């Protein structure tokens, strides 16, 4: 290896290691609450972060593609500290591990948050299929809490901001939606959905290096993560 090369390793990450990465190196500051597959990354034996896959926030995630819930998942976190390896390479290796450990999976869905200045450059570099820009829903802030309009309707009998005391509108930024097929037939099925990639912006999607503190989990990489079909 040249002096600029690094020894990259991807392996199962412990929950503690994944939680640390999300809290310190991802803009959300949180780890998803769902069934998770947590794949860690190390450069020259130094832990640099995690890639997390999960079922996401809704059971209808892959229903539009004629798939059952257990046939698809969402890429919910790419939380990395300072690193030399391209994010697209780390993601590619993580996808291989995901596919090998979950042979029934056929599709991965991910979103790039425009509200964070993300356009999905890591997905573009990995040849994901860009389906378009989605979201931009309007929520309400009631008593300091963000409430979906449907929830407000159930609770207050209306979702009108003018009829709920102290309510304010809260617009959620839209998101770019990307798809990654895990087999040839799925790629053939969703390829017609492909749209031109959105233009590059300043910030990469899915990860934010907010700290460069080293963290070596005692059991990181030694305890396999449960498959998506099992409890985390």
**Domain edges within the chain:** 1-134+174-232, 137-172
Lowest-pLDDT choice from 107-111, 138-142, 173-177: 138-142
Beta bridge partners of 11: 40
Decide if 133 contacts 114 (C-beta within 8 A). yes
Per-residue pLDDT tens over the stretch 194-229: 999 988 653 333 343 222 222 222 233 333 333 443
Per-residue pLDDT tens over the stretch 51-72: 999 975 566 889 999 999 889 9
**Is the CATH code 3.40.50.1220 the one for domain 1-134+174-232?**
no
**pLDDT score at 150:** 67
Per-residue pLDDT tens over the stretch 86-118: 999 999 999 999 999 999 999 999 988 766 666
Lowest-pLDDT choice from 150-154, 174-178, 186-190: 150-154
Residue 141's pLDDT band (cuts 50, 70, 90): confident
Decide if 7 contacts 44 (C-beta within 8 A). yes
Decide if 108 contacts 182 (C-beta within 8 A). yes
What string of DSSP letters covers 118-151?
Answer: B--HHHHHTTPEEEEEEE--EEEEETTEEE-HHH
Q: What pTM was computed for the model?
A: 0.72
User: How far is 128 from 31, CA to CA, in rounded Å?
Assistant: 24
Per-residue pLDDT tens over the stretch 2-41: 456 889 999 999 999 999 999 999 988 889 887 899 999 9
DSSP-assigned letter for residue 85: S
CB-based contacts of 1, cutoff 8 Å, min separation 6? 7
Tally of residues, the chain: 232
Q: Buried (b) or exposed (e) across 136-173, using 16+ Cβ within 10 A?
A: eeebbebeeeebebeebeeebeebebeebeebeeeeee
């Amino acid at each position: 290896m040249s002096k600029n090369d690094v020894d990259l390793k991807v392996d199962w990450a412990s929950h503690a290691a994944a939680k640390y990465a999300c809290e310190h190196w991802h803009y959300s500051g949180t780890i998803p609450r769902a069934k998770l597959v947590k794949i860690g990354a190390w450069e020259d034996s130094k832990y640099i972060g995690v890639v997390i896959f999960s079922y996401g926030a809704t059971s209808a995630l892959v229903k539009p593609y004629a798939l059952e819930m257990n046939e698809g998942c969402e890429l919910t976190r790419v939380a990395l500290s300072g690193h030399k390896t391209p994010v697209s390479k780390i993601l590619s290796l993580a996808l291989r591990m995901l596919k090998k450990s979950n042979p029934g999976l056929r599709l991965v869905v991910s979103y790039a948050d425009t509200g964070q200045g993300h356009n999905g450059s890591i997905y573009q570099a990995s040849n994901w299929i860009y389906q378009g820009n989605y979201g931009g829903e309007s929520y309400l802030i009631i008593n300091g809490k963000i409430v979906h309009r449907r929830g407000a309707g159930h609770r207050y009998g209306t979702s009108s901001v003018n009829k709920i005391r102290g309510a304010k509108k809260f617009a959620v930024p839209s998101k770019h939606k990307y798809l990654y097929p895990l087999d040839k037939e799925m790629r053939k099925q969703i390829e017609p959905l492909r749209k031109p990639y959105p233009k590059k912006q300043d910030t990469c999607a899915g990860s934010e290096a907010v700290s460069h503190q080293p963290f070596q989990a005692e059991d990181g990489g030694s305890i396999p993560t449960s498959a998506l079909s099992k409890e985390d």
